[in-house]
Structure 1
Amino acid sequence: MSAQCKSSVDFCSIPLIALNFGVRKRLGLYLNPRNAVAADWTALAEAMGFSYLEIKNYEKCENPTMTVLEHWQVKGSEATVGRLLSIMEEAERKDVITDLYSAIEKDCLEYLKKASEAPLQVPEVDSCEPRTAEKRGITTRDDPQGISPEMFDAFICYCKSDFSFVCEMINQLEHTEYRLKLCVFDRDVLPGTCVWTITSELIEKRCKRMVVVISDDYLESDACDFQTKFALSLSPGARSKRLIPVVYKPMKKPFPSILRFLTLCDYTRPCTQAWFWVRLAKALSLP
């Protein structure tokens, strides 16, 4: 009998994000070791649709199983707990399912509980036009009636400690021949609105791309984490070059694994600094 039939929980309707760090870490303990007899993480990655080159690059990660799960969960509705269980069953790793089943079920029940306690939302949450006044007049140059919303070339994802570099970015990209228009939250967004709702609106509807300023402090920011994962969900596999990660100073902490598959714009290398702003400006100028 399938593991999914043992529970009243509809695992196929629950996104992979429901699984917490503890379960993912334990999955890694089972699947990270390369095994000539039982299927390991590479078999799961292949079943999830990752290419040979992607899998070879994941081999360099400290915990490839967790990295694969992070990248898979932004691919869309296919990445569910039910699909993960099915993949492991097809790979004949029922031993893993048996040992972790109660923990997986517990995470899913917690997810459903939190979802049921969430505040009511408007019926439609797709990419339709705004139906609430909250999304009208959200930037300093917006039409208050929402008829002509202000548009931007890029949304800048940053934490407060990196604001001096964001100011340099404004000088280099807005006040030069590039004439790009950047959305900088502290400068352009009107106060008094719901941060998460407005941020989603700006990233999805108002900005062609998003520049992610990576630093040690970025890794600790819940707001930056939300913005990055939301933007990744809009462009699975980076098909539209929507995210552009930027590093402007040396980091002590590991680079975020969820962005490792994206081409980096690196300001820390003296030999390439002369090309940094040209590369970034051209990437943001693409249609």
Structure 2
Amino acid sequence: MASNFSVDYNAIPVTALNCNLRKKLGLYLNPQNTVASDWRTIAEMMDFTYLEIKNFEKRDCPFEKVLTEWETRPDATVANLLSILEKAERKDVVSDLSDIIDEDCRKHVERQQKMPVQVPVVDSCGPRTLERDGITVYDDPQGITPETFDAFICYCQNDFQFVHEMIRQLEQAEYNLKLCVFDRDVLPGTCVWTITSELIERRCKRMVVVISDDYLDSDACDFQTKFALSLCPGARSKRLIPVVYKSMKRPFPSILRFLTICDYTRPCTQGWFWKRLAKALSLP
């Protein structure tokens, strides 16, 4: 039965689609098909590279992984997903799953409408959990004046030597930036996901992501990156700055591909590296 629900699919992010629908999409698109377009065609139309698609092939459910990677991009709306499916001549998928898509979109809109409207004044004066107070070394014990930073540094432990160099370069008198380095600045004993989101969203103006092969295997880095991206769709506020400091054997993460990077691997530009990064972090 056709749904009477009408919504602007351009305003609905792909993240609104639930696991059940994603699995059904996979059932249509995962099998290699010589007659109709499969997940590889869809991935190409989503602008994934050849190497990225080859890596997706190693997954048991490749289309679900493609959708998870694609949904972090600013153009990842339900409207664009349906458009891609139609251009790939998979109108059968759109037709068969239209009711489920409508239902997911309806629930998303209802959730949005039920969310309380907040303004900065109300938010800053509202009750805060103790878990979000006193989370850094120099926090006010009463949580009245929380410590703030110029940038949150997203890194994995194997890249900590470069993070030390970043601290040495950027916190010196010439740039005088204040970096939030988890192992140095965050107090132990609190839920890591709660305080990480608090730091990224409220305490730090920007986030530097140290990209490496080890970064790609870090669940913590993956969470931090996707959370920061959700706060600035389309990189409107230049909030997230990727940094590459050594050559990589694996493909650069697709969710950051649309951002300008700071590349320390090129000897001819290393002399400008710290100045460019410091300038980006100093912007209002």
Same fold per TM (> 0.5)? yes
Matched-pair contact (CA < 8 Å) for 1:74–1:229: no
Given candidates 231, 234, 250, the residue that maps to 1:234 is 231
SS at 1:272 equivalent? helix
1:161–1:79 CA distance, 2 compared to 1 (3 A): same
Q: 2:205 matched to 1:204?
A: no
2:30 to 16, 26, 30: 26
Residue among 178, 184, 191 paired with 1:187 = 184
- Mapped partners of 1:222, 1:98: distance in 2: 36
Are 2:271 and 1:274 aligned?
yes
Deviations 1:163-209 (A, max 9, x none): 00000000000024100000000000000011001000000000000
* Aligned AA (2:180): C
The alpha-carbon deviation at position 12 of structure 1 amounts to 9.1
Corresponding residue for 1:15?
16
Tell me how far apart the structure 1 counterparts of residues 116 and 232 of structure 2 sit (CA, whole Å). Answer: 21
User: How far apart in 2 are the matches of 1:27 and 1:149?
Assistant: 52
Residue 249 in structure 1 maps to residue 246 in structure 2: yes
Change (3 A) 1:189 1:236: same
Q: Which residue of 2 aligns with 1:164?
A: 161
Note the C-alpha offset of 1:13.
Answer: 9.9
- How many residue pairs align between the two structures? 243
CA–CA distance in structure 2, aligned partners of residues 261 and 13 of structure 1: 18
Rounded to whole Å, the distance in 1 between the matches of 2:258 and 2:201 is 21
Q: Which residue of 1 aligns with 2:8?
A: none
CA distance in 2, matches of 1:151, 1:12: 31
Distance 1:283 1:152, change over 3 A: same
SS of the residue aligned with 1:237?
Answer: helix
- In 2, the alpha carbon distance for the partners of 1:210 and 1:12 equals 23
**In structure 2, what is the Cα distance between the partners aligned to 1:248 and 1:279?**
14
Name 1:37's counterpart in structure 2: none
Paired with 1:207 and 1:23, the residues of 2 have a C-alpha distance of 38
Aligned amino acid, residue 30 of structure 2: R
Q: Of 135, 141, 144, which residue of structure 1 is paired with 2:141?
A: 144
1:72 Cα deviation (Å)? 3.9
Q: Does the C-alpha gap of structure 1 residues 163 and 17 become closer, same or farther in structure 2, counting only changes over 3 Å?
A: farther
CA distance in 1, matches of 2:156, 2:13: 36
Q: Distance in 1 between matches of 2:117 and 2:137?
A: 25
Query: Percent identical across equivalent pairs?
Result: 62
**Structure 1 residues 158, 17: closer, same or farther in 2, change over 3 A?**
farther
Where in structure 2 are the equivalents of 1:31-180 lying within 5 Å? Answer: 32-33=40-41, 42=45, 58=47, 60-61=49-50, 62-63=52-53, 70-73=69-72, 75=74, 79=77, 87=83, 93-97=90-94, 128-129=123-124, 131-180=128-177
- Cα deviation code 1:193-227 (max 9, x no counterpart): 11001000000000000000000000000000000
3-state secondary structure, aligned to 1:155: strand
* Structure-1 separation of matches of 2:173 and 2:233: 32
Distance (Å, rounded) in 2 between the aligned partners of 1:85 and 1:142: 45
Q: Structure 1 CA distance, aligned partners of 2:276 and 2:18? A: 34
Contact 2:86-2:94 within 8 A present in 1 as well: no
* 2:195 partner amino acid: I
One-letter amino acid of the counterpart of residue 251, structure 2? P
The residue type equivalent to 2:69 in the other structure is E
Residue 15 of structure 1 and its aligned partner are, at CA, apart by 2.0
Q: Tell whether the 8 Å contact from 1:15 to 1:73 is kept in structure 2 after alignment.
A: no
- In structure 2, what is the Cα distance between the partners aligned to 1:159 and 1:136? 25
> 1:18-70 CA distances to partner (integer Å, 9 max, x unpaired)?
437x9397399626449xxxxx964xx6xxxxxxxxxxxx2645449876863
For structure 2, which runs of at least 5 residues remain unmatched after alignment?
A: 6-11, 57-62, 105-114
Q: Which residue of 2 is the match for residue 217 of structure 1? A: 214
Q: Which runs of 5+ in 1 are unaligned?
A: 6-10, 35-39, 46-57, 109-122
Residue type at the aligned position of 1:152: F
TM-score under structure 2 length normalisation: 0.71
Q: How far 1:266 sits from its partner (Å)?
A: 0.4
2:259 partner amino acid: L
Cα separation, partners in 2 of 1:131 and 1:27, compared to 1, 3 Å = farther
SS in structure 2 at match of 1:212: strand
**Residue equivalent to 2:111:** none
